[in-house]
Amino acid sequence: MFNMKAVQPTQLNLESGFKFKCHPGVSCFTRCCSNIDIMLTPYDVLRLKRRLGISSEEFIEKYTIIRADKNSSHPYAYLKMTDAEGKLCPFLKVPDGCTIYADRPVSCRYYPIGQGTLKKRDDAGKIIHEEFYFFVKEPHCKGYDEPDEWTIATWKDDQEITLYDSMNRDWKEILMRRNLPNQPALDEKKRLQFFMASYDLDKFRRFVLDSRFFDIFDVPEEQQKAVAESEEAMMKLGFKYLKFILGLEQTLAVKEQHLKKKKE
């Protein structure tokens, strides 16, 4: 999470321009890597656990803290800062910088830009999700004094943000879900399923491949093979599963024979 006092209220688009560069020569180098709240996305966790050569369970246990959102009951994983003075990012090495730079979280890639999503309805009444951007200008940051010129679009390309956004787009739509007024909050079972399908990819993999998942849901054989071979494909199946169980969209079809058994 950004320091909200540093967030500039003007909404920007992909063509909005700015000047910025972060490098070891600026006096504030690595200042933004301590005492911060970074909510991790599923693709963040996938890249980081793969980078570190550990399971998703190990990564979650060692590097995250879990917080429930009061408006949706969704449990989100945040990067755990160290206990050292200043509460440093666990992947920061002073004075060298980020030790996992090629696989850093998308929030780090966006900085000093923030990104948000508006939920709207188009002329036909269909719900659409519109992305927008804003500047984050913290007092200590000297990067804005550098001469390098960007647009939001060229910054996203340079920081490889477009890949991260495309991998997380369906999940970000799920984040827009809210508990209904005067209705019970999300139950414990669905909260656990949300967390597993979002962050604990290795557990979700076992849940899919070592169960009757493909006996219940009508998933094409080609897609079954893809999710068995690719963690990215498995992650995207998790998003479809979440949309289905949360009642957001009929992203999965239940096989007729399973429906018949339930009725018997």
Give the span between the Cα atoms of 264 and 262, in whole angstroms.
6
Listing DSSP states for 48-79 in one string gives: HHHHHT--HHHHHHHHEEEEE-TTT--EEEEE
133 has a pLDDT exceeding 90: yes
| Lookup: tokens for 44 | 């963040």
Give the span between the Cα atoms of 86 and 36, in whole angstroms.
10
- Full-model pTM: 0.90
CA gyration radius, the chain:
20
User: What pLDDT is recorded for position 210?
Assistant: 96
pLDDT tens column, 36-95: 999 999 999 999 999 999 999 999 999 999 999 999 999 999 999 999 888 999 999 988
pLDDT tens column, 114-127: 998 877 777 777 77
Query: Count of CB atoms within 10 A of residue 35's CB?
Result: 12
pLDDT tens column, 182-213: 888 899 999 999 999 999 999 999 999 999 99
Helix (H, G, I), strand (E, B) or coil at 7: strand
Share of the chain above pLDDT 90, in %: 79
Domain map (residue ranges) of the chain? 4-175, 188-263
